[in-house]
Chains A and B, each alone.
Chain A
Amino acid sequence: MNCEEFHERYSEYRDERTAADGLREFERHLEECEACARYHRVICRGVEVFRDLPSPSPSPDFYDRLKHRIYHLEDGIPGAGSWPTGSAAVLAVAAAGLLALAWVPFVSQVPVEVQLQPVSVERPDAAVERSAERETPSLFQSGPFLTPSRSGDRSWRSDGDRQGSSLLWRDEGSSSMGVSTLGSGSAGLSRGLR
């Protein structure tokens, strides 16, 4: 074995990765060559010093900090708590948008409650009524009197006994009565039926 070969294969010798024959070759060369023997001594002594260097110790709060980090680990797992901040913001905006869209039909179709003042009407005398019937313009032709079939029911029935110049409607559930002219009354009625 020459010096070049010794240096090329030195790690095999130092780390005992050579067969017994190879080991004897190295040892023979070390006995014969002072330079390589010195190289070997320098490595051995240097590594010895390296291994004796003071090791850093963990700081006193090392375990507390580690426990804290592990305790909060689940917070970062999707589905188990918070998501990354950016994703959370995007999701929140998307959810708000969907909610708003879902409410649009309801918002646009909110029924308008028409509050009409109750009006008391006195029934005219029979003679006056008959005269009025003859003289009433076509616009005020009597129509069917509409009243709910039962309390709270929004289906309406015709009451032929009640006739008048106005469209009279009554909500039996609230015991209030309302009257409206035909024009505005029909609109009010249609709105109120919703």
Chain B
Amino acid sequence: MAEAIDLNAQREERGRVDWEELDDAQLVERYLEGSERAFHQLTERYHDRLLNFIYRTVGDRDRSEDLVQETFVRVYRHLHRFDPDKKFSTWIYTIASNLAKNELRNRSRNPLVLFQAIKKNWDDDHRPLQWEDESYSPDDLYKKRFLRETVEEAVEELPEHHRVVFVLREMEGKTYEEISEITGVTLGTVKSRLNRARNKFAEIIAPMLE
């Protein structure tokens, strides 16, 4: 790894650093050495993923973006405390997950904010234009769209602690160990929550897939 960093330093000196080639650990090291560009690269690498993860957990698009910003601010402030032996992605997801959980906890105290109402509004405003696909009949297109909505609603209906685990596994592709670290629960709990989440998910969408 040291050799790789030396190599990258030499390339950076020549002004030809390919920041996208550096892995997270190398970027963290560069940032701690004073490279702001390294931090920018980390934000570019994670902002879409984090936004999607938080959005799927919280449901409010604008609020999700605020929380992603807050995640990066916390990373910026505390990166010097990050243990380089750990995985950076797990660490940043832990921060994002905690912020999302706090958001849901705060929201549960304020019943006026409804998950689905917020999310539906965003979907209506931001749904990309869909060109007619001639390979599908109107009935198929309707079914497809309805299935998508049902799947989204099925995930939203999951209890919060099941939803986080489900999204981390199925959307983000995290391992059980990573999910355990991110959520702060045991491997057994991760497995159990994931199983329950899948059962509930299947129960909701099964009628759509007859």
Contact = CB atoms under 8 A, between A and B. Distances in A.
Interface of A: 7-8, 10-12, 14-15, 17, 38-39, 41-43, 45-47, 49-59, 62-63, 65-66, 69-70, 73
Given A42-B202, A46-B151, A66-B69, A54 B209 contact: no
A58 B73 contact: no
B77 interface: yes
Interface of B: 43, 47-48, 51-52, 55, 61, 64-65, 68-69, 72-73, 76-77, 122, 126-128, 147-148, 151-152, 154-155, 169-171, 176, 191, 194-195, 198-199, 201-202, 205-206, 209
Given A50-B155, A63-B43, A56 B51 contact: yes
A5 to B, nearest CB: 12
B44 to A, nearest CB: 9
Contact of B169 (A7, A15, A70): A15
B128 A54 contact: yes
B188 to A, nearest CB: 11
A51 B170 contact: yes
A69 B176 CA distance: 34
Q: Tell me whether chain B's interface is mostly helix, strand or loop, or mixed.
A: helix
B69 A50 contact: no
Contacts of A55: 48, 51-52, 55
B65 A62 contact: yes
Nearest 5 interchain pairs by C-beta: A55-B52, A49-B151, A46-B205, A42-B202, A11-B195
Contacts of B61: 56
A183 to B, nearest CB: 74
A57 B126 CA distance: 10
A80 to B, nearest CB: 12
Given A53-B148, A56-B64, A73 B69 contact: no
Given A7-B199, A17-B176, A46 B126 contact: no
B122 A56 contact: yes
A47 B171 CA distance: 8
Contacts of A10: 195, 198
A51 to B, nearest CB: 6
Given A46-B202, A65-B69, A69-B69, 10 more contacts: A8-B195, A11-B194, A11-B195, A17-B176, A43-B202, A46-B151, A49-B147, A62-B69, A70-B76, A73-B73
B69 A51 contact: no
